[in-house]
Chain A
Amino acid sequence: AQSVSQHNHHVILSEAASLELGCNYSYGGTVNLFWYVQYPGQHLQLLLKYFSGDPLVKGIKGFEAEFIKSKFSFNLRKPSVQWSDTAEYFCAVNDRGSQGNLIFGKGTKLSVKP
């Protein structure tokens, strides 16, 4: 069965620090990869997605992620975080051979200190 692992449960950073959140998935087939963000009290929003092509994907709000197929990883990065980035971040995988469901990791809570 497919699964998604997010390495950090809670990350605390100061403003302007760099961010990297780890995500690994277990599945041998072709996948689509996603990062979602959930700001406090708000709905899940798509940050970025990877389907094919350039493994370095740029998303909204200065976020980017790199797909490393050999490592089954899709880590999220941001060079300089802001207080407004405080949120929970979810990595998700979709098996291209399946229909319509996403498999999510458990999430990483990011707290940015002003």
Chain B
Amino acid sequence: DAGVTQSPTHLIKTRGQQVTLRCSPKSGHDTVSWYQQALGQGPQFIFQYYEEEERQRGNFPDRFSGHQFPNYSSELNVNALLLGDSALYLCASSLGTRPYGYTFGSGTRLTVV
């Protein structure tokens, strides 16, 4: 059990559509970071949420947005989906914004057709 719960596990969407992915952090963690892992690549940082605000952002377009709720859970939204958005989306939770004690979820596999 990873302690971090992501839903759904798999998703198929059509180009141009919008998608929302969800993450419940490990108990006791207050920070959620999102990563995109394309096939054959390592995870790439999208953004991080702490105290319901985006604290840091990687090199991703504005089509990628997020939200953190008072219970520390988080959503990742992607608008105007492109074929290149097909990837495994990973959520990592931690206590505080440093990545020293990351716990990763198993991810959501998004396929854009």
- Residues on A close to B: CB < 8 A? 4, 32, 36, 42-46, 49, 51, 90, 92, 94, 98-107
Contact = CB atoms under 8 A, between A and B. Distances in A.
27 contacts: A4-B42, A32-B100, A36-B104, A43-B2, A43-B4, A43-B104, A43-B105, A44-B43, A49-B100, A51-B100, A94-B100, A99-B55, A99-B97, A99-B98, A100-B48, A100-B56, A100-B94, A100-B97, A100-B98, A102-B99, A103-B45, A104-B43, A105-B42, A106-B40, A106-B41, A106-B42, A107-B42
B41 A101 contact: no
B102 A46 contact: yes
Interface residues of B, number: 28
Contacts of A4: 42
Nearest to A98: B56
Interface of B: 2, 4, 31, 33, 35, 40-45, 48, 50, 55-56, 58, 90, 92, 94, 97-100, 102, 104-107
Contact of A104 (B40, B42, B100): B42
A8 to B, nearest CB: 14
Nearest to A109: B40
B99 A44 contact: no
Contact of B56 (A36, A99, A106): A99
B43 A100 contact: no
B97 to A, nearest CB: 4
A93 to B, nearest CB: 10
Contact of B90 (A44, A46, A49, A92): A44
A44 B107 CA distance: 10
Please name the 3 residue pairs, one residue from A and one from B, whose CB atoms are nearest each other, closest first: A104-B42, A101-B45, A100-B97
